[in-house]
């Protein structure tokens, strides 16, 4: 939706609307150069020079939004102060919304027209709105300094002179092309200078013979002639480009670099020799001073060594004492634990002795024992009764067996 809305706005403003910000940024940079922002702003804050498209939107160029916003606020504050008003330089930990609102308030106080820009458009630190705000502040600063841009006045030149100059230039190049020989495979882009000099001398002699007598003495002013020569000379200059791939050029460059290296080496060697001598002298001084200091501090060093030996002995004693203290502390902790256990047992026994719950439990146990004794007596009576019946039955059985035996014996006897 945002892309469609942006595309609709661009269609309403024209096809060149997206690139208008580039033109605005270039105009802003020119105005800042007129205000001498490099010395008055960048040098004080140790900032780098702005590029032509620094504040252009990040969707066109890769940039750092935080750095752009900080640069925008610093530059806006500087322009407001240049316009004659007092505005504090923003800091990095200030609230961005408050800074942008203050800048817009100052801009509305400068402009006669109403500036309706939401603060959110300026928080990114880039874009058309940022360039617009800075451009308006730069215009106000230039107006306060009494500076205004004017249209350039271009000098009028005679068309016939230009055409004659172009014809002469073309003829000169044609002559050079005729003089230059066909390059060989090994010699590319080389010009036969002897043939060029001979041809130029022949051309000057022919021109001198062809001149009439009334032109031999010139009536032209020397100053005007010099000005004309300075104006026409760049157009008549013949530039012969050499091929960088030619091995001869590489060899010449190697020789030049070798000469430069040798000359630089000689100068550097002299400086290095001086530095070596200075360093050797300094080292000798340092060694002598060190020996002197050691001699002066021998007594102090011996005392220091004795103190170190005593300190080591004291540390050993401290370690031994600390070891005994640790062992005694451990024994004390064990005894404290045993004491706590004894106290806990005594408290439990005392609570049990003073409490009547044990007596209640004993009475309940006695009642249960009595009930069990009664039950056992009943069971014992039942068992005795059963045993008595068994004995009586066995006795009756024995009597019957004896009677039967007697009867059998009687019958046998009879």
Q: What is the spatial distance between Cα 295 and Cα 113, in angstroms, rounded to a whole number?
A: 86
Residues written for the chain = 414
The answer to whether 144 and 110 are in contact (CB under 8 A) is: no
Per-residue pLDDT of the chain (414 residues; tens, 9 = 90+): 444 444 444 445 556 666 777 888 888 888 888 887 888 788 777 777 877 777 776 555 556 777 888 888 888 888 888 887 878 788 777 788 888 888 888 877 776 556 777 777 787 778 788 888 888 888 888 888 877 777 767 666 555 454 544 444 444 444 444 544 444 444 444 444 455 555 555 555 555 455 455 445 667 788 888 888 888 877 776 565 655 566 777 888 888 899 889 888 888 888 899 999 999 999 999 999 998 888 888 888 889 999 999 999 999 888 888 888 888 888 999 999 999 999 988 888 777 667 677 778 888 999 999 999 999 999 999 999 999 999 998 888 888 888 888 888 888 777
Q: What is the pLDDT of residue 178?
A: 52
DSSP for 364-378 reads: HHHHHHHHHHHHHHH
Tell which residue, 34, 276, 223, has the closest CA to residue 145: 34
Burial per residue of 304-329, b for 16 or more beta-carbon CB atoms within 10 angstroms, e otherwise: eeeeeeeeeeeeeeeeeeeeeeeeee
The answer to whether 69 and 128 are in contact (CB under 8 A) is: no
The answer to whether 104 and 130 are in contact (CB under 8 A) is: no
Q: What is the pLDDT of residue 170?
A: 44
Residues 6+ apart with CB under 8 A from 248: none
Q: What is the spatial distance between Cα 11 and Cα 5, in angstroms, rounded to a whole number?
A: 10
Q: What is the pLDDT of residue 339?
A: 92
Q: What is the pLDDT of residue 267?
A: 84
Tell which residue, 135, 123, 149, has the closest CA to residue 20: 135
The alpha helices in 83-192, defined as continuous H runs, are 96-110, 128-144, 159-179
Q: What is the spatial distance between Cα 307 and Cα 54, in angstroms, rounded to a whole number?
A: 68
Q: What is the spatial distance between Cα 320 and Cα 322, in angstroms, rounded to a whole number?
A: 5
pTM of the model: 0.37
Q: What is the spatial distance between Cα 78 and Cα 31, in angstroms, rounded to a whole number?
A: 14
Q: What is the pLDDT of residue 366?
A: 92
The token pair that represents 372 in the structure block: 């069990």
Q: What is the pLDDT of residue 297?
A: 86
Residues 6+ apart with CB under 8 A from 413: none
The token pair that represents 290 in the structure block: 């060190």
Backbone angles phi, psi at 266, to 5 degrees: -65, -45
The answer to whether 330 and 336 are in contact (CB under 8 A) is: no
């Amino acid at each position: 939706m945002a892309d469609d809305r942006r595309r609709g706005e661009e269609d309403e403003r024209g096809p060149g609307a997206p690139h208008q910000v580039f033109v605005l940024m270039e105009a802003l940079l020119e105005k800042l150069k007129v205000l001498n922002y490099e010395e008055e702003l960048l040098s004080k804050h140790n900032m780098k020079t702005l590029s032509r498209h620094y504040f252009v939107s990040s969707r066109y160029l890769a940039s750092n939004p935080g750095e752009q916003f900080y640069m925008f606020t610093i530059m806006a504050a500087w322009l407001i102060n240049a316009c004659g008003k007092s505005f504090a330089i923003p800091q990095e930990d200030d609230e961005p919304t408050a800074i942008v609102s203050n800048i817009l308030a100052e801009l509305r106080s400068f402009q006669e027209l109403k500036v309706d820009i939401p603060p959110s458009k300026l928080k990114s630190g880039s874009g058309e709105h940022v360039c617009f705000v800075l451009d308006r502040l730069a215009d106000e600063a230039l107006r306060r300094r009494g500076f205004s841009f004017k249209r350039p006045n271009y000098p009028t030149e005679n068309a016939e002179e230009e055409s004659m100059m172009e014809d002469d230039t073309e003829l000169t190049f044609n002559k050079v092309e005729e003089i230059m020989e066909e390059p060989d495979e090994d010699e590319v882009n080389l010009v036969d200078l002897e043939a060029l000099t001979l041809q130029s001398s022949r051309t000057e002699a022919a021109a001198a013979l062809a001149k009439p007598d009334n032109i031999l003495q010139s009536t032209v002013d020397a100053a005007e002639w010099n000005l004309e020569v300075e104006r026409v000379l760049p157009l008549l200059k013949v530039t012969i480009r050499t091929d960088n791939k030619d091995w001869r050029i590489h060899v010449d460059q190697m020789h030049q670099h070798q000469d430069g290296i040798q000359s630089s080496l000689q100068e550097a060697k002299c400086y290095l020799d001086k530095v070596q001598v200075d360093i050797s002298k300094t080292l000798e001084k340092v060694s002598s001073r060190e020996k002197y200091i050691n001699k002066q501090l021998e007594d102090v060093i011996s005392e220091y060594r004795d103190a170190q030996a005593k300190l080591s002995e004291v540390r050993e004693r401290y370690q031994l004492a600390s070891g005994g203290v640790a062992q005694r502390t451990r024994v004390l902790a064990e005894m404290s634990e045993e004491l706590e256990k004894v106290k806990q047992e005594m408290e439990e026994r005392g609570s049990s002795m003073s409490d009547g719950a044990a007596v209640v439990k004993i009475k309940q146990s006695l009642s249960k024992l009595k009930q069990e004794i009664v039950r056992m007596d009943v069971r014992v009576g039942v068992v005795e009764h059963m045993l008595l019946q068994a004995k009586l039955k066995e006795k009756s059985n024995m009597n019957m067996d004896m009677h039967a035996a007697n009867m059998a014996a009687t019958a046998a006897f009879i």
